[in-house]
Amino acid sequence: MSRSRCRCARLHVTRIQNSDDDLPQLPDEIIEFIVSKVLPTELVAFGLDQVSRSFATFVHRNLCSKTYFCALHDPLWELYRNTRNIHDGQKFDKLMVLLIKKYLCQVEDLVLPVTLFSHIQHLLEANSYLAATSGTACSFRHPQPGVALTHLSKLTIQIGGECGGLTLSHNFENLKTSSSLCKTLHEVNLDIVLSDNEDVTCAGFREFLRFLKEISCKSTLWNIRLTDNTTSGQGWSGPANLNRYRNKMFICYIRTMLDLSLKINQLELMDKRKASPYMLVMAPYRRTIYMFPEFKRCRNLVICYDIGLIAPVFSHENDHFDDLLSFEVDESHVLYKADLLEYLKSAHELREVKVVIPSTFQSRVSRCTEGCFSNPDFACFRADGWCSVPSKLPGAHFEIVARAPIMA
């Protein structure tokens, strides 16, 4: 929700008096309301702050009030994708520089595709003065010399698919430029889509994490969402195949984060090609995820993937996973529920287990006349299929909920 943080003085809008025109003039409040409905990118691109000194205060207060910016829902992203030749690229760079100086320096929560984020880093390298002048537009806000995005605390990066890939060619090896981006990030969200073309690699991901680690601290929350859009899926693979298909496997990215000593706050594992829960009985090929022990090395684990084999089936008595606090299965089948409970048993601090069933599951069951829902596959959506939860996980609160349907 937008909020005004600017305390700059309000100036009355000066108007040119025309004796031949007796039309009524809009009050300043209405003008400010109209300005608030214009996108920040358009305010900067059209140079509306150059109309007059008093009108510039309206523009400035509006920019200061908007602390959230998502490039994917802004014309800036489409403009960036359409810049092909050098001439258009120079125009875009000029716009981006102005946007950093006048607006992005005020943003606290920023969502960017990885290609646009990489482009911003190149601009900071080429225009070092941005880090020295950022935030000086507001006389009542103290700029922080040395960083371009003065108040940035939450960063979300979209990786893969239309947002662009992540390989070593993106060149995040210059760690000095990360210190010119912002001071310290309190939350980092990484949304990664893995596909067969392997436009996202573990090597590029490691380099990117080292870049972001320079502007993080011990209390920084690292949230990662991994979405599988591959044909091979996330089933069990031996060491040889795991090394061969490492750019497509969830576990390789999790291990990369653990190798860099990054504590994962929330881990979401999603299957973009998952079949409907009602059609899985008739599916000739079942896509399931192989549950590695490293998936428990987080505080909140959300599985939107049909769960198959679990490793180890019975964990060693000395295995302790004290970070995991909550576990959620979202509209997904669990083929071996007893093994899953043994898997979660080593998470001694687990406080909540939630099973989200399809919103129309109960009505579909009541209308079924063929007995399809008596199949063991659908036991994961019924309370009787989880009857051993209280005995296996006595310290965890168990809940089966139906997700409300999304209204158009």
141 close to 6: Cβ distance less than 8 angstroms: yes
Q: In sequence order, which residues have a C-beta less than 8 Å from that of residue 398 and are 6 or more positions away?
A: 353, 354, 355, 386, 389, 390
Identify the H or E element spanning 264: strand 264-271
Distance between CA atoms of 175 and 166, rounded to whole angstroms? Answer: 17
Going from N- to C-terminal start, the domains of the chain cover 35-66, 68-402
- Helix residue ranges, H only, 285-404: 337-345, 361-367, 389-392
Q: In sequence order, which residues have a C-beta less than 8 Å from that of residue 86 and are 6 or more positions away?
A: none
| CA atoms within 13 A of residue 364's CA, in its CB half-sphere | 14
124 close to 110: Cβ distance less than 8 angstroms: no
Residue written as token pair 């009355």: 12
177 close to 124: Cβ distance less than 8 angstroms: yes
Distance between CA atoms of 140 and 61, rounded to whole angstroms? Answer: 11
35 close to 65: Cβ distance less than 8 angstroms: no
Distance between CA atoms of 172 and 127, rounded to whole angstroms? Answer: 17
Distance between CA atoms of 386 and 398, rounded to whole angstroms? Answer: 9
Identify the H or E element spanning 291: strand 289-291
From first to last of its 408 residues, the chain has per-residue pLDDT tens of 344 456 556 666 666 665 555 556 766 667 677 777 778 888 887 776 666 666 677 777 777 778 899 999 988 998 898 886 666 678 888 888 888 888 888 889 999 999 999 988 888 888 777 776 555 455 444 455 578 888 889 999 999 988 988 988 767 877 667 777 888 899 999 999 999 998 999 999 999 999 999 889 899 999 999 999 999 989 888 888 888 889 999 999 999 999 999 999 999 999 998 877 766 555 567 789 999 999 999 999 999 999 999 987 666 666 778 899 999 999 888 888 888 998 998 888 999 999 988 877 777 777 776 656 666 667 777 777 888 888 888 889 998 888 765 443
Integer CA distances (angstroms), 93 to 71, 74, 86, 129, in order = 15, 16, 10, 14
Peptide bond into 312 cis (omega under 30): yes
